[in-house]
Amino acid sequence: MELREKLEILADAAKYDASCASSGSDRKSSAGTKDGIGSTEGMGICHAYAPDGRCISLLKILLTNFCVYDCLYCVNRRSSNVRRARFTPEEVVRLTLGFYRRNYIEGLFLSSGIIQSPDYTMEQLVRVAKMLREDHGFRGYIHLKTIPDASPELLAEAGLYADRLSINIELPSEPSLDRLAPEKDAGAIRRSMGRLRLRIEEAKSSPREPRFAPGGQSTQMIVGADGTDDRGILATSDRLYTGYRLRRVYYSAFSPIPDGSSSLPPGAPPLVREHRLYQADWLMRFYGFDAGEIVPDGGLLDLEIDPKLAWALVNRHRFPVDVNKADRESLLRVPGMGVRTVDRLLSIRRHKAVRLEDLGRLRVQIAKVAPFVTTADPQVGRSLLDRIDLRQRLAPRPAQLALPLFA
Amino acid sequence: MHAVELAHPVDFEGWRAAARRMVLADARPEAVDWRVGAQAGLFGDAAAPVVPEAVRNRAFTVPKDFLELAETVVCHRDPARFALLYGLLWRLTHGDPKLLEVVSDRDVHRAEAMARAIRRDIHKMHAFVRFREREGHYLAWFEPDHFIVERAAPFFARRFANMDWSILTPDRSVHWDGETLHFTPGASRAEVPDEDALEDYWRSYYASIFNPARLKIAAMQSEMPRKYWHNLPEARLIAPLIRDAGRRAAAMVESGVTLPAPKSGRWAEAVPDVRAPEPEGGLQACRRCTLWRNATQAVPGEGPMGARLMLVGEQPGDQEDLAGRAFVGPAGQLLDRALAEAGIVRSDCYVTNAVKHFKFTPRGKRRIHQKPDAGEVEHCRWWLAEEVAAVRPRLIVALGATAGRALLRREVAVQRERGAVLRLEEGRSMLLTVHPSYLLRLPDPAAKRAEYDRFVTDLRLATSFAMTP
C-alpha cells in the first residue's frame, strides 16, 4: 500500500480523538546543536484549522487501525468493515520530520489499535518516539496514547520520550464501559492514571529524577453514546482532575461513524452539549464553581445559554456585584467576565473608580454584564435583575454555534 | 515645533534616545513631530530642541513594562505610534507613574491594542509560514500585517537549527545558515518555489483529519482568517470539504448500521485473552459497599504469610489509592520511622487497612479524606478476617479507632484503651494505639514529640509480645 493511502486511512481513524494540544511541556530547542531539530516553548501553536473548527497542531495518526477489541462506539473495532492499514515506525518518523521541517506541525500525536497484546502495542509506540528523539535529535512535541496496564518499564520509557501521555476513559460510567467496550477494564484505566500521576509528580519533585511526561496527562470522554447525564459526566471529570491531576479532560460529542453498530443510535453529534460541558469544566477549574452547583436539578446543562449565565439567573439574590468593592471570587461569578478581565479590574480600581466605559475598554459585552453589576455610574431606573424576561434579553439568538445539520 | 527623524520604521533605539531628549527639554507631546526616514514633515524642517547642559545628564526612570510595551508598539504600521508612545511617556514622567495599570485609560488602551495586534501577527507568522524545499534549502513566502520579521525570526532559528532556510516578505527578508540570522530587504513571491514534494501528503492529511459531522466554519475562520489562505497549500481544500460535508455526514447516518465484518475474528484468534488476571482473589471486583465507585483501586494488605505482627490502619489515602499499596504516603513514612525506632523491620510485618478503598470528597484540586462509616467498616470486615486467617499473626496492632472497631466490633476509645493487649473472639491478641496520621495533624511541636514517643513505646510493647516464644 502506498504511504499516502496509509496516511489517509490512519489519519481518518484518529480524527475522533479531540486532543491536539501541544502546550505546557518543558522548554526545548535545537539552537546551538549541530544535528537537532525542533523546539517546545510552553505555548503550542495551531498551524492550521479544519472546517470542523478544530486546530491542527500535531500530526495525529494511528500506528495501525487493526484492533483486537470490539468497542461499539469505535470506528476501528474488530467487527467494523473499515479499511485497515499499518505504518512501520520508520514511515511515521519520516512523515513527522517531513511535515515538521515545512512548519506544518508542532509534533506528533500517536495512538494505535491494540494488536497482539497491550505490551506489544505500547512497545511499538515507544519505538517511534525513541527513534525521533535519539536518532534524529527531535525536540518537538510528542503525545503518546498509553495502553492501560502496560508494563512499568515501557511506561517509564514512554514518559522519558513523550511530552504528554493520555489514557482515554472513553465513557463517563463504569457500567457503560462494561456494556459498550466489554474488553476494556475501567479499573485498569484508573490504576494506570494513578500510576502516571505518581510518576509525573516524582519527576517534578527533583531534577535528579528521570524526565517523565512534563506536559502531564489528559483523557477523553465520549458524550452522548450512553445515557449518563451532565451531572454524572462532570462528577466523573471532577474525580479525574482531583484524583489524577489531569491537565485536561476532553469531551467528544459522539459522532456518527461510518459502519456504525446497531447498539448505538445513529444521529448528529450533540455539539452544543459538548460545548456546554467544556464551559462547565472551565467553571470548575478556573472560576471556583463546584460540580454540584453548575448542573440544574434536571441533570442536564441548559443548551440555550452558557452555564455561568444559567447559574446567575437562578441565583439573582447574589447580584448585583459592586465592581469597585467586591472580592475576586464574587467578580468571577459575574456572567460575561473572564479571569483576565477580573484581574485587570482589580488592578484598575486601585487607581480610579470603575465605570461602564472602563468595562467597555476591557472588551466585555456590556449588555451581558450590566444587569449583574453596579459601577461608579449613577443608577438609572430599576434594576434589570428584577425583570422576568431577563433570560430572553440575554439569551443569544440561535445559530451562534453550528447546530446539527439535520435534526 | 520639534521634528524628530527616525532611521527606519522600527527604530526603537532612535525613538528612545530622542524621546529622552524631548522629555528633558520639556517638549510637550503636541509640539513633537515624529517621522520615519525621508517622510516630509507637516511643518517643514523644525530644529531639534536645544537641551541645556545642566539637564542633559539628568536621569529619569520609567517602568520596565513601558519599555517592553514601546518596543512592541513600534512594530505597528500605524503612523501615529511614535506620538502615542511619547504621549504616554510624558504622562508617566509628569505625575502619573502608575498610568500603565489603568488599562482602561484611552491611550493605554490604544497602545495595548496595538501591542496585541503585533503579538497576534507574530503568532500567526509562526503558525502559517509554510516552507518549500529546493535542493536542501527551505524557502517560504509570508505577508505579515506589521513590521515584525526581526521579532518573529529568532523563534524559527531556535526551531529549525539544522536547516538552511529563508523567509521572504514584502518589507524584509530573513535567512538562516545554521549559525546566524541575517536580514535583507523585501522580496517577491516569485523567488519561492511554487511546489513541494510533501504538499500532497499534507493536503491528504488535512482532508482526512476533518470530521464532516462537525462543521464549524466560523470557528475555523476566526482563527485562520481568509487573508492568509492564498499562501496556505491546504486552503484550496476548504471549499470542497465544506461543500461535501453535509452529504458525507448524512450518508454515515443513513447507512446507519452495517453487519459486522465476516472475518473480524481472524487476527484476534492468535491473541490470548488480554485482560489482566484478577489479582487478590477478587478483591478488585469487590462491590460489597459503594466505595469502589470513586476509588482508583482496592488496596490489598502486603507482607509475609506467617508474620508475627500484623498492623491494621484505617483506609488507603490519596497516595495509597494511586499506588495500590498500603502505607506509602506521609502517614506510612512516619510509621516506618516509628517501627525502626522500636526495632521492627517493616518487611517482617503484614500491613493492611480495615477498609480497602479510599473514601474521599473532591474539594478544589484535592481529595479530602473522609472517615468510613460503621456500615463500610462492617462490609469490609470479611476481607480483614480473610487476611487474619491467612497470616495467623501473634499480635494485631490496631492503628486508630476505625481499625480497633473493625477488630473488636464495638466503639473504642483509643486514648483510654491503648497500650494493653486485648483478647479477640478468635483467640487472637490485639493491641490498640493511635494512627500515625493523628500524629501528623498535631499542631503543637511539643505535643507531637510526646505523642510520637508514646506511639513508639506502644510498638515496642507489641514487638516484645509478638516475639516472646
Q: Is the pLDDT of residue B144 over 80?
A: yes
User: Which cell numbers in the block locate residue B59?
Assistant: 536621569
Tens digits of residue pLDDT in B37-95: 755 444 444 455 566 665 666 778 888 999 999 999 999 999 999 999 999 999 999 98
Q: Which residues of A touch B232 (CB under 8 A)?
A: 48
247-266 of A, contacting B, C-beta below 8 A: 253, 255-262, 266
Mean of pLDDT values over B28-41: 79
Residue type at A358?
Answer: D
User: Which cell numbers in the block locate residue B390?
Assistant: 491467612
Q: Which residues of B touch A116 (CB under 8 A)?
A: 270-271
Q: Which residues of A touch B204 (CB under 8 A)?
A: 4, 7-8, 11
121-180 of A, contacting B, C-beta below 8 A: 137, 149, 174
- Alpha carbons A287 and A109: distance in angstroms, whole number: 30
User: A17 versus B33: which is more confidently predicted?
Assistant: B33
- Alpha carbons A141 and A213: distance in angstroms, whole number: 11
> Sign of dihedral through CA atoms A368, A373, A374, A375?
negative
> Mean pLDDT for chain A?
90
Q: Among residues A214, A285, A193, which one has the least CA distance to residue A42?
A: A214
Interchain proximity A268–B365, CB inside 8 Å: no
> How sure is the predictor about B259, in pLDDT bands with cuts at 50, 70 and 90?
low
Interchain proximity B211–A52, CB inside 8 Å: yes
Interchain proximity B102–A351, CB inside 8 Å: yes
Mean of pLDDT values over A123-148: 96
The partner residue sitting opposite B209, judged by closest CB among A11, A183, A405, is: A11
Percentage of chain A lying above the pLDDT 70 cut: 95
pTM: 0.87
User: Which chain B residue is nearest to residue A10, measuring alpha carbons?
Assistant: B208
Interchain proximity B267–A258, CB inside 8 Å: no
Mean of pLDDT values over B217-221: 90
The reported pLDDT for the residue numbered B260 is 61
The reported pLDDT for the residue numbered A384 is 78
**CA angle, corner B467, sides to B464 and B469, nearest 5?**
120
- Alpha carbons B400 and B437: distance in angstroms, whole number: 9
Name which of A250-254, B17-21, B261-265 the model is least confident about.
B261-265
The reported pLDDT for the residue numbered A266 is 66
Q: Is the pLDDT of residue A18 over 90?
A: no
- Alpha carbons B14 and A313: distance in angstroms, whole number: 55
- Strand runs (DSSP E) across A95-185, as ranges? 107-111, 141-145, 164-166
The reported pLDDT for the residue numbered B298 is 94
User: Which chain A residue is nearest to residue B120, measuring alpha carbons?
Assistant: A45
Q: Is the pLDDT of residue B268 over 60?
A: no
**Shortest Cα distance from B10 to chain A (angstroms)?**
26
Please give the C-alpha separations between residue B305 and each of A100, B76, B119, B310, B387, in angstroms, as whole numbers: 57, 76, 66, 10, 9
Q: How far is CA A92 from the centre of its chain?
A: 24
Tens digits of residue pLDDT in B148-163: 999 999 999 999 999 9
Tens digits of residue pLDDT in B326-364: 999 999 999 999 999 999 999 999 999 999 999 999 888
Report yes or no: A334 and A372 within 8 Å, Cβ to Cβ: yes
Omega cis (within 30) before A320? yes
> Mean pLDDT for chain B?
89
First-last CA distance in chain B: 106
> How sure is the predictor about A217, in pLDDT bands with cuts at 50, 70 and 90?
very high
The reported pLDDT for the residue numbered A268 is 76
- Alpha carbons B16 and B36: distance in angstroms, whole number: 14
State the residue for C-alpha cell 500535531: A58
Largest CA distance in chain A: 73
DSSP one-letter code for A210 = P
Interchain proximity A54–B123, CB inside 8 Å: no
Q: Which residues of B touch A350 (CB under 8 A)?
A: 101
The reported pLDDT for the residue numbered A17 is 85
Residue type at B21?
Answer: R
- Alpha carbons B110 and A359: distance in angstroms, whole number: 15
All residues at 6 or more sequence positions from B344 whose CB lies less than 8 Å from its CB, including other chains? B309, B459, B462, B463
Interchain proximity B296–A116, CB inside 8 Å: no
Q: Which residues of B touch A293 (CB under 8 A)?
A: none
The reported pLDDT for the residue numbered A402 is 45
Tens digits of residue pLDDT in B418-464: 988 999 887 899 999 999 999 999 999 999 999 999 999 999 999 99
Q: Which residues of A142-180 are buried (b: 16+ CB within 10 A; e: fewer)?
A: bbbbbbbbbeeebbebbbbbbbbbbbbbbbbbbebbeeb
User: Which chain A residue is nearest to residue B108, measuring alpha carbons?
Assistant: A361
User: B400 versus A42: which is more confidently predicted?
Assistant: B400
Q: Is the pLDDT of residue B240 over 50?
A: yes
Tens digits of residue pLDDT in A78-108: 988 889 999 999 999 999 999 999 999 999 9
The reported pLDDT for the residue numbered A386 is 78
Interchain proximity B241–A266, CB inside 8 Å: no
Mean of pLDDT values over A158-166: 97
User: Which chain A residue is nearest to residue B176, measuring alpha carbons?
Assistant: A31
- In this structure, the number of other CB atoms found within 10 A of the CB of residue B391 comes to 20
Q: Is the pLDDT of residue B272 over 50?
A: no
- In this structure, the number of other CB atoms found within 10 A of the CB of residue A296 comes to 15
Instruction: Please give the torsion angle defined by the CA atoms of residues A154, A157, A161 and A164, in that order, rounded to the nearest 10 degrees.
Output: 60
- Alpha carbons B181 and B175: distance in angstroms, whole number: 6
> How sure is the predictor about A19, in pLDDT bands with cuts at 50, 70 and 90?
confident
The reported pLDDT for the residue numbered A396 is 78
- In this structure, the number of other CB atoms found within 10 A of the CB of residue A205 comes to 9
Q: Which residues of B touch A242 (CB under 8 A)?
A: 362-367
The partner residue sitting opposite A103, judged by closest CB among B129, B234, B293, is: B129
Q: Is the pLDDT of residue B266 over 90?
A: no
Q: Among residues B243, B249, B238, which one has the least CA distance to residue B212?
A: B249
Q: Which residues of A touch B180 (CB under 8 A)?
A: none
Q: Among residues B325, B132, B28, which one has the least CA distance to residue A103?
A: B132
All residues at 6 or more sequence positions from B119 whose CB lies less than 8 Å from its CB, including other chains? B72
Mean of pLDDT values over B212-237: 91
Q: Is the pLDDT of residue A267 over 80?
A: no
Mean of pLDDT values over A311-335: 94
Interchain proximity A194–B103, CB inside 8 Å: no
Residue A281 contacts B where some CB pair is shorter than 8 Å: no
Q: Is the pLDDT of residue A49 over 90?
A: yes
- Alpha carbons B354 and A54: distance in angstroms, whole number: 49
Report yes or no: A347 and B103 within 8 Å, Cβ to Cβ: yes
Could you write out the three-class secondary structure of chain B?
CEEEEECCCCCHHHHHHHHHHHHHCCCCHHHEEEEECCCCCCCCCCCCCCCCHHHHCCCCCCCHHHHHHHHHHCCCCCCCHHHHHHHHHHHHHCCCCCHHHCCCCHHHHHHHHHHHHHHHHHHHHHHHCCCEEECCEEEEECCCCCCCHHHHHHHHHHHCCCCEEEEECCCEEEEECCCCEEEEECCCHHHCCCCCCCHHHHHHHHHHHCCHHHCCHHHHHHHCCHHHHHHCHHHHHHHHHHHHHHHHHHHHHHHCECCCCCCCCCCCCCCCCCCCCCHHHHHHHCCCCHHHHCCCCCCCCECCCCCCEEEEECCCCHHHHHHCCCCCCHHHHHHHHHHHHCCCCHHHCEEEECCCCCCEEEECCEEEECCCCHHHHHHHHHHHHHHHHHHCCCEEEEECHHHHHHHHCCCCCHHHHCCCEEECCCCCEEEEECCHHHHHHCCCHHHHHHHHHHHHHHHHHHHHHHHCC
Mean of pLDDT values over B363-381: 92
User: Which cell numbers in the block locate residue B184?
Assistant: 535583507
User: A90 versus B468: which is more confidently predicted?
Assistant: A90
The reported pLDDT for the residue numbered B49 is 58
Residue A193 contacts B where some CB pair is shorter than 8 Å: yes
User: Which cell numbers in the block locate residue B231?
Assistant: 499562501
Interchain proximity B241–A50, CB inside 8 Å: yes
Gyration radius of chain B's alpha carbons:
38
User: A258 versus A147: which is more confidently predicted?
Assistant: A147
User: Which chain A residue is nearest to residue B255, measuring alpha carbons?
Assistant: A259
The reported pLDDT for the residue numbered A269 is 78
The partner residue sitting opposite A15, judged by closest CB among B133, B209, B297, is: B209
State the residue for C-alpha cell 452544543: A272
> How sure is the predictor about B275, in pLDDT bands with cuts at 50, 70 and 90?
very low
- In this structure, the number of other CB atoms found within 10 A of the CB of residue B271 comes to 13
